[in-house]
Chain A
Amino acid sequence: MSRTAKILSLAFIAFWLLTALAPSLIAPGDPLAINPAQAFQKPGLGHLFGTDESGRDVYTRVVHGARDSLFIGIAATALGMGLAIVLGTAAALSPRWLDEAILRVLEALYAVPSLLMALLIIAFTGPGVGPAIVAVGLSTAPGYARLVRSQIRTLRRSEMLEAATVLGRGPWAKVRNHLVPNALKPLLALVTLGIGQAVIWAAALSFLGLGTPPPAPEWGAMLSAGRTYLHLAWWMSLFPGLAIVVVAAGATLIGRALGGKVKAL
Chain B
Amino acid sequence: MAYLGWAARKIGGALVVLWLVATAIFIGIRMIPGDPAEAIMGGPGSQASAEALAAARAEFGLDRPIGVQYLMYLGKLAQLDFGTSYSLKRPVTEVMGEVLPNTLWLALVSLAAAWLLALLFAAASMRASRLGSWLGSMFEIIAAAVPHFWLGSVLIMLFSSALGWLPAVDNGTAAGLLLPVLTLALPLAGFLTQLMRDSLAAAMGSQFALAARARGESRLMVFWRHGLRHASLPALNLTGWAFASLLSGAVVVEAIFARPGLGRSLLSAVLARDIPMVTGIALFSALVYILVMAVAEGIEKFIDPAGAGA
Contacts and interface: CB of A to CB of B under 8 A. Distances in A.
Interface of A: 104-105, 107-109, 111-117, 119-124, 126, 196, 200, 203-204, 207-210, 220, 223, 226-227, 230-231, 234, 237-238, 240-241, 244-245, 248-249, 251-253, 256, 262-263
A115 B153 contact: no
25 contacts: A107-B13, A109-B20, A109-B24, A111-B17, A111-B21, A112-B21, A113-B245, A113-B285, A116-B282, A117-B282, A119-B251, A119-B267, A120-B282, A204-B148, A204-B149, A209-B271, A230-B157, A241-B150, A241-B154, A245-B146, A248-B145, A249-B145, A251-B145, A252-B144, A263-B238
B141 to A, nearest CB: 5
Contacts of B29: 124
Interface residues of B, number: 57
A226 B147 contact: no
Contacts of B104: none
A119 B150 contact: no
Contacts, number: 146
Nearest to A250: B145
A227 B153 contact: yes
B115 interface: no
Contact of B145 (A121, A237, A245): A245
A114 B147 CA distance: 14
Interface of B (DSSP majority class): helix
Contacts of B142: 245, 249
A227, A251, A256 — which one has the most chain B CB atoms within 10 A of its CB?
A227
B157 A234 contact: yes
B209 interface: no
A223 B142 CA distance: 19
B195 A263 contact: yes
Interface of B: 13, 16-17, 20-21, 24-25, 28-29, 31-32, 39, 43, 141-142, 144-150, 153-154, 156-157, 161, 168, 191, 194-195, 234, 238, 244-245, 247-249, 251-252, 255-256, 266-267, 269-271, 273-275, 278, 281-282, 285-286, 289-290
Contacts of A238: 154, 157
A111, A226, A238, A251 — which one has the most chain B CB atoms within 10 A of its CB?
A111
A17 B286 CA distance: 38
A123 B270 contact: yes
B17 A107 contact: yes
Given A111-B289, A244-B145, A256-B141, 12 more contacts: A104-B13, A108-B24, A108-B286, A115-B252, A116-B266, A120-B278, A123-B269, A124-B39, A203-B149, A204-B148, A241-B150, A252-B144
